[in-house]
Structure 1
Amino acid sequence: MTSLLIAIHVLAAVLLMGPVMITVSAYQGQMMKAKDGDTKALGAATTLHRLTSQYGPLSAIVPVAGIAVFLTNLSAFGSEGRFHISILLAVIAWVILIAVIIPRQKKTLAALEGGDQVVDFAKEKKQLSMFSGIFNLLWIITALLMFV
C-alpha cells in the first residue's frame, strides 16, 4: 500500500505541481502586457489563470498523498523530521496558492476584462511575483527534503 501511495504522491507532484509552478510565475508578465492593450497577452493571462485555478485545487493531492504515506508507515517516516517539515511546507504552499495567488489573479483578470474594479497593476505584479516566488521556493525546498 505504501508503494502505491508513494507513486500517487510522486506522479501528482510531477503532473500537477510542475504546471502550477510555471503558470503562477508566468501570469504577471502576461498581465502587464494585457494591461497595455495586448489582446494576445490577455488570452495568455486568461489561460494561465484557468490552468492555475483548475490545477491548483487538484494539487492538494500532493500533500494529502504525502500525509497518507507518512501515516501508513509511521515507523519509517515518523522519526524523520524532514518529512514533518515537508508536509508543513507543502500545506503552507497550497494555502498561499488557494488563499492568495488564485484570488489575486482572478481580481486582476476581471479588471483586465473590463470589470468595475480599479487595480494598481504595478502593485499587483509585485505582490503576485512575491507570492509566486514564495510558493515555488516552498515546493523546491519540499522536493529537496524528499531526497536528502
Structure 2
Amino acid sequence: MTKVLLILHVLAAIVAVGPVTVAASMVPPAVRRAGTDTAAVSTVRLLHRICRIYSGIGIAVPAFGFATAGAMGVLGSGWLIASIVLTTAAAGLLIAFVLPRQEELLGQLDAQQTIERSSTVQLAMFTGLFNLLWATVTVLMIVRPGSTTGA
C-alpha cells in the first residue's frame, strides 16, 4: 500500500504542481507582451486559469503525502517537517500573492489600463519564490536527510 500511496503522491505533484509552476512563470512576460492585444490577453487569462485550477488539484499532493508518510512511519522526521513547512509557505504565497496579483493584472488588461513594469516584476518575484520553495521540497523528498535508504 505504501508504494501505491507514494506513486499517487508523486504523480499528483507532477500533474498538479508542475503546470502551476510553469504557467505562473509565464504570466509576467505574457502580461508585458499583452498590452491591448486581445489574443495576448486571452493567453494571460488561460495561464491564470491553469494556475487556479491546478492549484486546487494540488491539494491532493499533501493529502497523499501525509498518507504516505503515515504508512512509512516517518511523520516525525525532520526532513518531512521541513517539507511540510515549506509546502505550507508555498501554498500561502500562491494564495496570498501570486493568484491575486495575476487577477489584478488581468483586470487591468481587461480595462485596457497601462500596466506598470513594477507590477509584473513583483509578480515574477513572488512566482520565483513559490517555485524555489517547491524545488526545495522536491530536493528534500529525494535526498531525505537521515534516511536509511542510502540516498
**Shorter-chain TM-score category?**
0.7 to 0.9
Q: Write the distance in 2 (CA, Å) between the matches of 1:90 and 1:119.
A: 34
Residue type of the partner of 1:71? G
* Structure-2 residue corresponding to 1:60: 59
* Structure-2 residue corresponding to 1:86: 83
Q: Write the distance in 1 (CA, Å) between the matches of 2:84 and 2:63.
A: 9
Q: Write the distance in 2 (CA, Å) between the matches of 1:11 and 1:30.
A: 28
Shift of 1:40: 2.4
Residue type of the partner of 1:126? V
Unmatched runs of 5 consecutive residues or more in structure 2: 144-151
* Structure-2 residue corresponding to 1:28: 28
Equivalent pair of 1:45/1:109 in contact (CA under 8 Å): yes
* Structure-1 residue corresponding to 2:104: 107
Q: Write the distance in 1 (CA, Å) between the matches of 2:4 and 2:125.
A: 35
Equivalent pair of 1:67/1:87 in contact (CA under 8 Å): no
Equivalent pair of 1:6/1:69 in contact (CA under 8 Å): yes
* Structure-1 residue corresponding to 2:50: 51
Q: Write the distance in 1 (CA, Å) between the matches of 2:7 and 2:53.
A: 22
Shift of 1:96: 1.0
* Structure-1 residue corresponding to 2:14: 14
Please list the CA deviations of residues 90-117 of structure 1 after superposition, one character each: whole Å capped at 9, or x if unmatched: 12111211221111111110111117xx
TM-score by length of 2: 0.86
Please list the CA deviations of residues 62-105 of structure 1 after superposition, one character each: whole Å capped at 9, or x if unmatched: 1222122222332xx13531111112111211121122111111
Aligned with residue 125 of structure 1, among 102, 120, 133 = 120
Q: Write the distance in 2 (CA, Å) between the matches of 1:43 and 1:52.
A: 14
Equivalent pair of 1:108/1:121 in contact (CA under 8 Å): no
The two structures, once aligned, show a CA RMSD in angstroms of 1.7
Q: Which runs of 4+ in 1 moved over 6 A?
A: none
Residue type of the partner of 2:134? W
* Structure-1 residue corresponding to 2:148: none
